[in-house]
Amino acid sequence: MNKIEIRNLVFHYTAGEPILNDISLAFDARSTAIIGQNGAGKTTFVKLLKGLLKPVGGDVVINGINTSDATVAALARHIGLVFQNPNDQIFKNKVLDEVMFGPLNIGQSQDEARERADAALAMVGLAGRINDNPYDLSLSERKLISIASIVAMNTEIIIFDEPTIAQDFSGKEHIKAIIRDLVAQGKLVLTIIHDMDFVAETFERTLVFAQGRVLLDGSTREVFAEEEVLRQAHLEPPHVTQLAHRTGLPGTPLTVEEFVREKRAQGAMRPVTP
Amino acid sequence: MKKIVVEGLKYRYPLTAELALNDVSFEIEKGEFIGIIGRNLAGKSTLCQALMGLVPHFYKGAYGGSVTVDGLNVAQTEICELARKVGLVFQNPFTQVSGSKMTVYEELAFGLENLGVPRAEMMPRIESAMALLGIERFGKRNPFDLSGGQMQRMAIASVIAMAPDIIVLDEPTSQLDPQGSEEVFQAIQALSRQGMTVIMVEHKMEKIARYSDRVMLLDHGRLVDFDTPERVFSRDDLAQYGIAAPIFARICQGLGIRTPQTGLYPMTLDDAYDQVVNWHE
Amino acid sequence: MKALSLYQDNGTLIHRVDPISKLLYIAAAIFIPVVLTGFTAGLAMLGLSLMLLVLARVLRKVVPLIGFSMLVLISVVIIQGLFYAGNRQVMFALGGVHFYREGLLFSAAICVRVLNILCAFALLVLTTRPSDLIESLVRQGLSPHFGYVLSSVLQIIPQMTGTMETITDAQRSRGMETEGSLMVRLRAFLPLIGPVVMNSLVSTRERSLALEVRAFSSRAQKTFLNEERVSTSNRVIKIVLLAAMAAAVAWRVVS
Ligand SMILES: Nc1ncnc2c1ncn2[C@@H]1O[C@H](COP(=O)(O)OP(=O)(O)OP(=O)(O)O)[C@@H](O)[C@H]1O
Ligand SMILES: Nc1ncnc2c1ncn2[C@@H]1O[C@H](COP(=O)(O)OP(=O)(O)OP(=O)(O)O)[C@@H](O)[C@H]1O
Ligand SMILES: [Mg+2]
Ligand SMILES: [Mg+2]
């Protein structure tokens, strides 16, 4: 059974202004990136998965439960969502309370919740801040707190909405490691993100949203090979891929290492011109 | 002409133990495009706020040294006076909304009304700022009913409409789609060519390398370096400051390619292309 | 946090009347019945307000307000009907309890007055964008800072509802049951209070930062995006309202 099934999903905020048009999708175990233009409907889409919004038409089924038949709280045992804006998510006065809130609500024991909260905070590099007031932290730290709060819930499905906002190099590396770790545990990870380099290095599957539809759906390498289609969707391939494309390097390399390897291989094959 | 002069700036937020800015000194010319980079908590946002007078006027705290903006000593000038010269786009666009206007169009007008810009002049300024950021369609929308990226576009537009002499942008493209952030960089570059002084905090090193005239590297509240992108990004101790060089430089480094004239790594797509395409092992 | 408001954008004739005229209308609606004491003036005024609310197509929004105040008013009627000091003439008896004519009349007058004020205010609040109201007051010389405070007060309920929605979403997203029976919702209400207050405090501070950088405290003469509405009809409305108030005073003095 797929953990998430979406059938003919239709949604709008105001009648006559469609946001999502007839989307049908299934998510398997592959880590998946959702990319697309501002306003394409990505956040709306994941709020529908989470049950915070209900479909205007069609069905969203999470672990066999139709979101229209369940409360958000009941769905929360199965699916966690890190909000795009941490200010919309954080409401406790102590970091530890914030991170333990979800785990305790979905039935983890005090000890287990504490253990998972500590582990999640360590993963985002904020283990030393458990007693701080989240309101005193900077945007980048608040984003990491909101990630830890969801990771600690240990749900089967985890969705990140723009996890790398305000993150520096090491923050992004932390988040990459978290995603890889979750995937290794067999969880389904979906991530909305505008950082194409991050997508290239992290996700197996990529979906391109445009005007309420799925424009492309395939392995990340396949999707990033479609430069023309990406441009139509206000996107661009990762920097590595751009350079490869310009220099005529075949095979859509996605990382610096891949590029260097391909280029060396190509150089070795080509006869040296004097 | 020196637009901004900072001398020995030290600053500590109230109730904290460490200096957020520690002995920072630099000068910026009119029309320069300055990139600020540095790891999280390095002090980038604090420096931005010090240029606008929010540090120290709004936050209070311990302040030393001096910041001079267009001849005005910031510590002795009111924020509203500085707001005529300096525009600041916040790191989180959500906190930039005035909350007293009910449409995007009026939200953009807010700053202009406060500055006393005549009505006839207001409308073309608002409309061109909206067009520049691609949000013309949302003029009548409630500011809070926008997507994250649309709200960020509105935040930038609301400051550009005020036509400041100096614009300070704190990670203005963190929620924009790739083409949107490219467009914003181009628009800001165009403004800087028209004489606007630009100071931009950004984690997207490829963009900083391509668009800034000079790059400021901050770490632990200290100014580590302030030089051309090529020189800053060719430092061999970048990792120590939590920075990774632009991808193009990393590729060239991997291949052992340097620009022959300078001996530095190529930083931008164009420069990297020139070198890589002719490269043979 | 959403910039919600009670305002209903129906674009009727009433919506186009300027806020100052509506303020003046509130003044008249309160003043005239007070001056003319009697019952009929108040009733007439109330009738007029209700008619205007119908015209503005916002009556549906007023009903819950009236319903809520009815709860209070009915208790007033009962207490005065039973215990009003001037009670002489028994009007009717209910299960052996006597209701007096004087007390009932007195409380009816109170009811009419309260409903009257309520409807007049509703007319302003439901048909005027808060920002327009503030703007026209600032134009009349009110300090913008005071205007901002006033607008925050006007928006406090919608703003709180917005914050509560945001926090509720954050809580139910992490497994706290907030939907379903009254009991569940009541239980979910308590843990909301702290965060809502905290959130409001923090966002007030953030908001003042946002205002500062947009030159809100600037001493320059403010300008306005929206043109001032100085139509003749608006002037006529004001004159009629002032004349009506003057006439009421004259009537009182003469009779
Ligand atoms: N509360 C709302 N009421 C009305 N329209 C809304 C609301 N929230 C979002 N929208 C609109 O719905 C569309 C989709 O918004 P959504 O937030 O899903 O976009 P997104 O793909 O997440 O964009 P971004 O990359 O900018 O975050 C946008 O055009 C937006 O303006
Ligand atoms: N309002 C505040 N009160 C107290 N300390 C603060 C405040 N804002 C920032 N700081 C502290 O000042 C230092 C510099 O923070 P600043 O926000 O300037 O960093 P930054 O480089 O902008 O980081 P980021 O990349 O996360 O945005 C940090 O140690 C931070 O904790
Ligand atoms: Mg979004
Ligand atoms: Mg910052």
Query: Which candidate, A253, A216, A254, places its Cα nearest to that of A233?
Result: A216
Same domain? For A24 and A4 the reply is yes
Interface probe with B: pick from C225, C226, C228, C229, most Cβ of B within 10 Å: C225
CB-based contact, B248 to chain A, within 8 Å: yes
Residue A193, pLDDT above cutoff 50: yes
Q: What is the pLDDT of residue A1?
A: 58
Question: Is residue A95 pLDDT above 90, yes or no?
Answer: yes
Going by C-alpha positions, the residue among B142, B123, B135, B141 that lies closest to residue C225 is B123
Q: Where residue A157 falls among pLDDT bands split at 50, 70, 90?
A: very high
Which of helix, strand or coil describes residue C227? coil
Place of tokens 């909305």: A192
**What's residue A274's pLDDT?**
44
Alpha-carbon distance of B114 to C221, in angstroms, equals 8
- Identify whether B256 is part of a domain: yes
C215-227 residue pLDDT tens: 988 888 888 888 7
- List the residue whose alpha carbon is closest to atom 14 of ligand 2: B43
Is A67 found in the same domain as A25? yes
Is residue A229 a part of any domain in this protein?
yes
Of A41, A101, A97, A106, nearest to A72 by C-alpha is A106
**pLDDT of B220 higher than 60:** yes
Cβ B142–C2 below 8 Å, yes or no?
Answer: yes
Query: How far, in Å, from the CA of B90 to the mean position of ligand 4?
Result: 9
Same domain, A255 and A211: no
Calculate ∠ Cα B56-B59-B62, nearest 5°: 55
φ, ψ dihedrals at B90, nearest 5°: -70, 160
Are residues A263 and A211 part of one domain?
Answer: no
> B77: which 2 tokens?
């000038």
With beta carbons less than 8 A apart as the criterion, state whether B166 and B68 touch: no
pLDDT of residue C221: 84
d(CA C251, CA C233): 26
Poorest-pLDDT segment among B104-108, C6-10, C16-20, C178-182: C6-10
Residues with CB under 6 A from ligand 2: A 138-140, 166, 168; B 13, 16, 20, 38, 40-46, 59, 91
User: Which residue range(s) make up the domain with B269?
Assistant: 246-280
**Helix H or strand E encompassing B193:** helix B178-193
* Confidence label for C60 from pLDDT (cuts 50, 70 and 90): confident
Residue C201: predicted pLDDT? 83
Contact B158, B109 (CB under 8 A): no
Q: What is the pLDDT of residues B185-219, one digit of tens each?
A: 999 999 999 999 999 999 999 999 999 999 999 99
Mark yes or no for CB contact C217/B115 under 8 Å: no
Query: What Cα–Cα distance (Å) separates residue A14 from each residue in A10, A19, A44, C134?
Result: 12, 9, 13, 28
Instruction: Please state, in angstroms and rounded to a whole number, the distance separating the CA atoms of residues A65 and A51.
Output: 11
C204 against B23, higher pLDDT: B23
pLDDT number for residue B280: 76
Identify the pLDDT of residue A150: 97
Which of B18, B45, B48, B55 has the most ligand 2 atoms within 8 A of CB, as the residue to mutate?
B45
pLDDT at A93 over 70: yes
**CB proximity C220 to B under 8 Å:** yes
Average pLDDT over chain B, rounded to an integer: 95
CB-nearest partner of A52 from C173, C177, C180: C173
Touching subunits for chain B (3+ Cβ pairs under 8 A): A, C
Atom 6 in ligand 2: residue holding the nearest Cα = B13
Record: contact B95-C210, CB cut-off 8 A = yes
Structure tokens, C52? 């205007």
Query: Does residue B42 belong to any structural domain of this protein?
Result: no
**A142 alpha carbon – ligand 4 mean position (Å):** 12
Q: Do A228 and A244 sit in the same domain of this protein? A: no
Q: Which residues surround ligand 4, an ion (CB under 5 A)?
A: B 44-45, 91
B45 falls within a domain: no
Torsion angle of C-alpha atoms A241, A246, A247, A253, degrees rounded to 10: 10
For residue A43, report the distance from its CA to the centre of ligand 3, in Å.
4
Q: Does some domain include residue B253?
A: yes
| CATH number of the domain that residue A32 is part of | 3.40.50.300
What pLDDT, on the 0 to 100 scale, is given for residue C5? Answer: 62
Q: Are B218 and B37 in contact (CB under 8 A)?
A: yes
User: How many distinct structural domains can be found in chain B?
Assistant: 1
Q: Give the range among A223-237, B48-62, C88-102 with minimum mean pLDDT.
A: C88-102
Checking if the pLDDT of A202 tops 50, the result is yes
Distances (CA, A) of B280 to A240, A254, A271, B252, B255: 19, 21, 9, 12, 10
Domain assignment of residue B125, yes or no: no
Indicate if A204 and A257 belong to the same structural domain.
no
Please report the pLDDT score of residue A175 as a whole number. Answer: 96
Residues B109-150 have pLDDT tens digits of 999 999 999 999 999 999 999 999 999 999 999 998 999 999
Q: Measured in whole angstroms, how far is the alpha carbon of residue A159 from the centre of its chain?
A: 5
Contact between chains at C2 and B162 (C-beta distance less than 8 A): no
d(Cα B62, Cα A8) in Å, to the nearest integer?
Answer: 59
Number of domains in chain A: 2
Which of A38, A211, A242, A270 to mutate: most B Cβ within 10 Å? A38
What average pLDDT does range B80-94 have in this prediction?
94
A-chain CB neighbours of C174 within 8 Å are 76, 80, 101-102, 105-106, 149-150, 153
Asked whether residue A100 is assigned to any structural domain, the reply reads: no
CB contact under 8 A, A273 and B250: no
Confidence of residue A269 (pLDDT cuts 50, 70, 90): low
| Residues of chain B found within 8 Å of residue C5, distances taken between Cβ atoms | 102
Range of the domain at A37: 1-71+188-236
Residue A58: other Cβ atoms inside 10 A:
17
Question: Which residues of chain B have a CB within 8 Å of the CB of C210?
Answer: 90, 95-99
B276 lies in a domain? Answer: yes
Does ligand 1 have an atom closer than 6 angstroms to the CB of A19? yes
In a domain, B172, yes or no: no
Portion of chain A with pLDDT greater than 90, in percent: 92
Mutate which: A139, A143, A172, vs B, most B CBs within 10 A? A139
- Ligand 1 center to C230 CA (angstroms): 38
Amino acid at B236: D
End-to-end alpha-carbon separation of chain B, Å? 47
Ligand 4 centroid to residue C41 C-alpha, Å: 63
- Residue that the structure tokens 């320069």 belong to: B32
What is the Cα–Cα distance from A148 to A92, expressed in whole angstroms? 14
CA B22 to chain A, closest CA, distance in angstroms equals 19
Do A3 and A42 sit in the same domain of this protein? yes
Residues 6+ apart with CB under 8 A from A265: none
Q: Residue B264 falls within a domain, yes or no?
A: yes
Give distance in angstroms: CA of B255 to centre of ligand 1.
Answer: 43
Beta strands in chain A (DSSP E): 4-12, 18-27, 32-36, 57-62, 65-66, 79-82, 157-161, 188-192, 205-210, 213-219
pLDDT exceeds 70 at position A271 = no
| Ligand 1 pocket test, candidate residues B140, B147, B151, most atoms within 8 A of CB | B147
Assess: ipTM above 0.95: no
